[in-house]
Amino acid sequence: MRPLERIEGREKVTGRARYAVEYPVEGVAYAAAVQATVGRGEIVAVGTAAALALPGVLAVLSCENAPEVNAVDDGELALFQSRRVSYRGQFVAAVVAETLETAREAARLVRVDYVSEPPDVRLHPGHPGIYKPDRVNPVFPADTERGDPEGAFAASAVRVDATYTTPAEHNNPMEPHATLAVWDGDGGLTLYDSNQGPSLVRDTAAEIFGLGPDRVRIVSPHVGGGFGSKGTPRPNLVLAAMAARAAGRPVKFAQTRQQMYSATGYRTPTIQRVRLGADADGRLTAIVHEALEQSSTVREFAEQTTTPTRVMYQAPHRRTAHRLARLDVPTPSWMRAPGETPGMFALESAMDELAVAAGIDPIELRIRNEPDAAPESGLAFSSRNLVTCLRQGADRFGWAGRDPAPAARREGRKLIGMGVASATYPAYRLPNRATARAEVDGTFTVRIAAVDIGTGARTALTLIAAEALKAEPERVTVELGDSDLPRASVAGGSGGTAGWGTAVVRACEALLPMLEEDRRPVEASADTTAEIEAQEELARHAFGAQFAEVEVDVDTGEIRVPRMLGVFAVGRVINAVTARSQFIGGMTMGLGMALMEESVMDEEFGDYLTRDLAQYHLPACADVRDIDAFWVDEHDPHLNPMGSKGIGEIGIVGAAAAVANAVHHATGLRIRDLPITPARMLTAL
């Protein structure tokens, strides 16, 4: 396919693209949230007199007067349904007012009295509440074991036994989690909402408010990023809808940047122990990967941190395990390749340590441990081109000239090093529906309740439909971002394009023969449920190789990354323009994870102290220097009609390990705790 620029790009850069709370509606009111100021306790009383006395205040909602709503799986959505405070910053009340300023000032005046006790917020290996979850996100077993991993590890010629930690991290999309709620005269509900799955959000909202799904509509044509945090509805949706009903008016509610560090999910901190045992040639005999993570008391979310280890390398003896502690913290959730991202930081750092210990080039070590089939499931890979990625990347990056000795290259006061890591991400595909319609004027309209969260989904689906219809993309309009459109899966798990695209192709294929009758308009539809249920059982995964070059200032511990290179095997790339952006964006997130991103828990008060973009450091433009991404030719007939694997997340996977491995190569220092800040470097130097 020829590359296509982002279709809505002009609308976005000129400010005409409307986001959730930007829709103009008559008689709108504004809501503001009151957050718990204790980390664990019960609400004794909610004093609303001062807030209600403020001119322009329409209503105050709390556990003392909020309407009962239905409970759903996610307890974070049971807004104002209980006096229990599960973590500091939890929404405990809301104010509705004529203006946003009034609502926020009134929220400050709401007085909530609590009985409280000190919150338990520190994740550590000695926590008494550590347990094994039944499964990890979404449906993987918590533990797996084959052979005698402990015995094999103990008997190995070369061993690595190391503990790695990753901090809590927040998704930080540009657009906050925001909702405009409008109840119509008949009790129907329209929600202009910032989310990653209008169909799923519609179903959840309908369940919460006891409505038929046909009475709820979710409108989300443009979404300013989500990175997983908008994969499920957030409290802002319930708050806006509840407030709109209480005020009898449409209500807008956008979480503030500060609130986003309490009420939108985040990546759990992890403490990971990895043990690798190998023979003298570097062939792995044992792999043990154990992860400790946190969840809240509200709901169990168990990140699948060690699951990539189940598919990466061969070894006859192996074990993976997940353990959780339930703390008085907000519920963690999906963030930028949950599981793979923290898990591959640990595994790929350990592989680098093994390469050093065995005296083998880290790329060669990985090639020697390539499995013939998925190492744990035994399934055949639909395609696996990790080795090609590693080799092509090595050529492009100039790996051959690298002196394997650490701390060997010095320029002035800077030490320079190069690191490599592998990447992997599953190729998911979920059932979807779509319609394709031939219009009278010769154009086509494709409809699906997909959503473009900045990924380029609208553009990719246009290309997919155009190819299936044998038409120019300019003649195809894709309508998405609305739950009234045919039901679609969530924009998550890097499975959007694969799942949505399959339905779009099938709808277009069904339309083509109908065109021969020359009767327009004419519409065809597709439902891919049966097709996907019938698909052959195979190990479907994307792979990649990440390379990084770092400069470490020996006086200040500052680390800068002049070059990053990613080479990916992701099936067929649908749109080279937006795909490249996704890879580079993911790698930039990996750079942030390696060097700066960290949400700091305040152990006295029990909330995350980093609460804005001045404190939570994402890479700035000046940090992003020469980052490039390439992909190999990969033809995989076992995926979907497009032959594509998802590309939304693999760009971040392994990137932090490549940087950390480069830091070791530059300095000889192995930093196993992210992020690698000047403070950590100076302490180690």
C-alpha–C-alpha distance, residues 622 and 560, integer Å: 10
C-alpha–C-alpha distance, residues 95 and 59, integer Å: 6
State the minimum distance, in angstroms, from the CB of residue 489 to another protein.
36
Q: Is 370 a catalytic residue?
A: no
Q: Which of 42, 148, 623, 628 binds another protein (CB under 8 A)?
A: 623
410: contact with another protein by CB under 8 A? no
Q: Which residues contact 340 (CB under 8 A, 6 or more apart)?
A: 307, 308, 423, 424, 425, 649, 650, 653
555: contact with another protein by CB under 8 A? yes
Inter-residue contact 287 to 146 (CB < 8 Å): no
C-alpha–C-alpha distance, residues 387 and 398, integer Å: 16
Q: Which residues contact 570 (CB under 8 A, 6 or more apart)?
A: 542, 544, 631, 634, 644, 645, 646, 647, 650
For another protein, the closer CB: 360 or 595: 595
Number of H helices, E strands in the chain: 15, 27
* 3-class secondary structure, 114: strand
For another protein, the closer CB: 572 or 617: 617
600: contact with another protein by CB under 8 A? yes
47: contact with another protein by CB under 8 A? no
> Which residues, 104 to 143, sit near another protein by CB under 8 A?
104-105, 108
620: contact with another protein by CB under 8 A? yes
State the minimum distance, in angstroms, from the CB of residue 27 to another protein.
23
Options 63-71, 457-465, 639-647, 677-685: segment touching another protein (CB under 8 A) = 677-685
Inter-residue contact 662 to 548 (CB < 8 Å): yes
174: contact with another protein by CB under 8 A? no
510: contact with another protein by CB under 8 A? no
Q: Which residue has the tokens 């971040």?
A: 652
Q: Which residues contact 643 (CB under 8 A, 6 or more apart)?
A: 571, 572, 635, 636, 637
State the minimum distance, in angstroms, from the CB of residue 402 to another protein.
24
Q: Which of 188, 224, 431, 678 binds another protein (CB under 8 A)?
A: 678
413: contact with another protein by CB under 8 A? yes
548-582 burial by CB neighbour count: b if 16+ within 10 A, else e? bbbbbbbeebebebebbbbbbbbbbbbbeebbbbb
C-alpha–C-alpha distance, residues 246 and 240, integer Å: 10
C-alpha–C-alpha distance, residues 559 and 642, integer Å: 41
- 373: buried, middle or exposed (CB in 10 Å: 19+, 13-18, 0-12)? middle
First to last CA, the chain: 50
Options 229-237, 277-285, 311-319, 551-559: segment touching another protein (CB under 8 A) = 551-559
For another protein, the closer CB: 445 or 615: 615
610: contact with another protein by CB under 8 A? yes
Options 102-110, 229-237, 296-304, 654-662: segment touching another protein (CB under 8 A) = 102-110
621: contact with another protein by CB under 8 A? yes
Q: Which of 248, 609, 626, 633 binds another protein (CB under 8 A)?
A: 609
State the minimum distance, in angstroms, from the CB of residue 560 to another protein.
6
For another protein, the closer CB: 514 or 618: 618
> Which residue numbers are catalytic?
649
Which residues form the interface with another protein (CB under 8 A)? 35, 37, 101, 104-105, 108, 258, 413, 555-558, 560, 595-596, 600, 602-605, 609-611, 614-615, 617, 619-623, 677-679, 682-683
